[in-house]
Structure formats: C-alpha cells, structure tokens
A = this chain, B = another copy of it.
Amino acid sequence: MRPEQAHSPKRESGDERRAAVAEAARAIIIEKGLEGLRTRDIAERVGINIATLHYHVPTKEALVALVAESLRDDFKAQALRHPKAGLNGADQLRQEFNEFREIVAEMPELIGVLSELVDRARRDKSIADIILPMQAYWTEQFATVYRLGIADGSFRNTIDPAAAAVITTAALYDCWRPHRRDQLDGVFAELERAFSNPSHASQG
C-alpha cells in the first residue's frame, strides 16, 4: 500500500480503495470466514458507502477474487525477500524454514484467509486460478531445494523431490494453524532429519 499523503483531503484512487477493501475483507474473513463476509460490513470497515464499494468492486465474486489476488501478491513479495544464492541444499532448506517462521510470526492469522480461499478454489475456478499456481510455486521452491541438495550431497539421493516438496509444504501449512503452532520447530527438525544424507552426516 502506498504511503499516506499527509493530511491530503484528496479522494483515494481506485487502486487505493480496492486495496483498502481487500484488507478490510481479509480482516473480516479472519473473524467470520467467507461464510460471514458481508459487503456492508466491508464498506463500513473501510469507511465508505455500500454503493461506493460496488462502484469499485462490482460484485461479491469480484471481491473474493480481489482478496485472493492480494494474498498472492503478499506471498510473492515475501518470496523475494531473501536471496539464496551460494547455499547448499540443506542450508537453503533451513533458510526456507526461517522464512516460513517469519511469515507465521508476522501474519499469524492469515492461514485462516488462505484456508478459506483454498476451500473455495475447489468450487470456484476463478479462485483456483489464483490460488493453485501460488501453492504450486511454493511447492516447487522446495522441490528445487531438494534437487540441489541431492546434487551437492547434503540430502540423500533416494529423495523424490516432488513428493518431498509436497510433504514439506503440507507440514508447514498445517503448523501454521493455531493449535499446531507450538510444533513448528519440532517439525522443522524432523523434516531435516527425514531428508538429510546419512553418509553426509556421518562424514560431518
């Protein structure tokens, strides 16, 4: 979001409105789910009239898609935060875990929004087209790390990178949930053991 212009009475631009709408909708989804998402509640939370909301985001469907896009964009920004060049597979995996820990710490409740959108993606192709590529991208990041680790010897060479990546992202996603959050570090450690190269370890 664009920095606020100091005390400007100027109307917000269309993009700013839509960003505010997306943010308000996310907050409400966290509280009430997609099930409880109401256009009037969003308008109220942004501080605009219901007709203004419809002016900027014409339908409720468009609104949910806007939320999905805002989420995708946040994750994209997060993915670019830390470069990984020069690290071996095992170190990159650890870095991915550290980054994930940051996400969980910064956005503890976003799992709620993401999860609701994943559910909707099953039923609504327009949401699937936003959410599934994002998930696939995340999973592919791990597959790449595992391939690198196999090549550099830090992971066992029996790994199926694609399957290992699914296992990893699934476990991380599950540990984002409130009732599993205290198991995050234990799961990180176990994943590292699961994929590390035993002969590498015995050499080290």
Chain A contacts to B: CB under 8 angstroms: 31-35, 37, 112, 115-116, 118-120, 122-123, 132, 156, 158-160, 162-164, 166-167, 169-171, 173-175, 177-180, 183, 186-187, 189-191, 193-195, 198
In the complex, which residues of chain B have a beta carbon less than 8 angstroms from the beta carbon of A190?
159-160, 163-164, 167
CA distance A132 to B194 in the complex (A): 26
Minimal beta-carbon separation of A68 from chain B (angstroms): 14
B179-A162 in contact (CB<8A) = no
What number of copies of this chain does the assembly contain? 2
CA distance A195 to B196 in the complex (A): 11
Name which residue of chain B comes closest to A128, CB basis. Answer: B179
CA distance A8 to B161 in the complex (A): 58
Q: Which of B33, B167, B178, B194 contacts A187 (CB 8 A)?
A: B167
CA distance A170 to B191 in the complex (A): 13
